[in-house]
Amino acid sequence: MSFVDTMLSALSSFEMNYTVLLLIAVTIPGLIIFLIMTVNAIVMVYMERKISAFMQDRLGPMEVGLFGFKGGKRFWGGIGQTIADAIKLLAKEDIIPKNADRFMMMLAPFIIFIASFLTFVGVPLSENFLISNFNIGILYILAMSSVGVIGIILAGWSSNNKWSLYGAMRAAAQIISYEIPIALTLLLPVIISGGLDVHTIVDWQLQNRWLILHSPFTFIAFFIFFISGIAETNRTPFDIPEAESELVAGWMTEYSGFRWSLFFLSEYTNMLIISLVASFVFLGGWGSPLTIINLIPGDYMYLDGPVWGLFWLLFKAIVLIFIMMWFRWTFPRLRVDQLMYLCWKVFIPFAIFNMLAVGIWEVLF
């Protein structure tokens, strides 16, 4: 049962025109997704700034408060900083260079934004909070997450700037390369659970065990998936498309104001999507982690259920996002050749071997 279906059945009692009904049933989830994206970006930016500051023995934003509340005096201050930054971004001038391809440059951010927006449609937040329940769920997520590359190339090309173009080329090369290990690792859950559907995969994990603990091969697959996912979102250490020290800001160089904030928004949304996918494919989805420990028998102690499901899934996602940030502020940027080495010579062979091994494992056990 997806969210749109629930909306439709709830609204059908009003005896409206079916077109209007469908429009309402699609608009409301759309707004909810947008709200989630915005709140996610605001919270994640604050989290990122704080974590990076603490890792570098700084304090991060400390001055801007929210509703008169400044946060802790010593460490968790400045909670209004990202909101102030967001307002500042929206108020900035929207600059488009004279020699840029105007139409394409204006279009590109929206393509990137829509790509991450559409990906979100297939990503569950809880057992019943899945905007649209495709029976090819994972395939849909994979397909939609690669739409963003078009926007990136468009942005880089239309900016008419060498850094933008270099950044876009690198981004395209990187994202297309890392699609392969992601697809190969996402095949393992499909082989094991026997379905592409989100519910099938998670239900299998809830009945048996988390996929990360299923076999040594799925354990390795999780890391391959997660690291490739970081590369997909163009974050450090895989941030050669926007390497500040070489390319200014890569394909975002010529953008400012609202359009740049769309890039920003979709980047942080992609982070959330990768973390959510990793948690529902490998980490038991909306199931409570307490079932693994299994100290006290009895279902009611595991804090399972629709609301707890939302909490557990978001909790897992946030832990993964923290790990992403941890990576970012720990590792230096990879060189282009190192990046390709990691993808083509390490991840893909291992992923193929994993697939084979999991096939045999499934036949044997």
Binding site for another protein (CB under 8 A): 51, 54-59, 62, 73-75, 326-327, 329-331, 345-346
Nearer CB in complex with another protein: 223/258? 223
Minimum distance of another protein from residue 59's CB (angstroms):
4
Q: How far is CA 204 from the centre of its chain?
A: 23
CA–CA gap between residue 273 and residue 279 (Å, rounded): 10
Nearer CB in complex with another protein: 15/337? 337
Minimum distance of another protein from residue 302's CB (angstroms):
29
Alpha-carbon dihedral 276, 278, 279, 281, rounded to 10 degrees:
110
Type of residue at 201: I
Nearer CB in complex with another protein: 27/330? 330
Minimum distance of another protein from residue 174's CB (angstroms):
18
SS (H, E, C) the chain: CCHHHHHHHHHHHHCCCHHHHHHHHHHHHHHHHHHHHHHHHHHHHHHHHHHHHHHCCCCCCCCCCECCECECCCCCECCCHHHHHHHHHHHCCCCCCCCCCHHHHHHHHHHHHHHHHHHHHCCCCCCCCCCCCCCCHHHHHHHHHCCHHHHHHHHHHHCCCHHHHHHHHHHHHHHHHHHHHHHHHHHHHHHHHCCCCHHHHHHHHHHCCCHHHCCHHHHHHHHHHHHHHHHHCCCCCCCHHHCHHHHCCHHHCCCCHHHHHHHHHHHHHHHHHHHHHHHHHHCCCCCCCHHHHCCCCCHHHHCCCHHHHHHHHHHHHHHHHHHHHHHHCCCCCCCHHHHHHHHHHHHHHHHHHHHHHHHHHHHHC
Minimum distance of another protein from residue 55's CB (angstroms):
5
Minimum distance of another protein from residue 223's CB (angstroms):
9
Minimum distance of another protein from residue 191's CB (angstroms):
24
Nearer CB in complex with another protein: 46/129? 46
Minimum distance of another protein from residue 75's CB (angstroms):
7
CA–CA gap between residue 151 and residue 142 (Å, rounded): 16
Nearer CB in complex with another protein: 59/336? 59
Minimum distance of another protein from residue 78's CB (angstroms):
11
Minimum distance of another protein from residue 27's CB (angstroms):
39
Nearer CB in complex with another protein: 47/169? 47
Write down the residue that tokens 């974050």 correspond to: 235
Nearer CB in complex with another protein: 154/220? 220
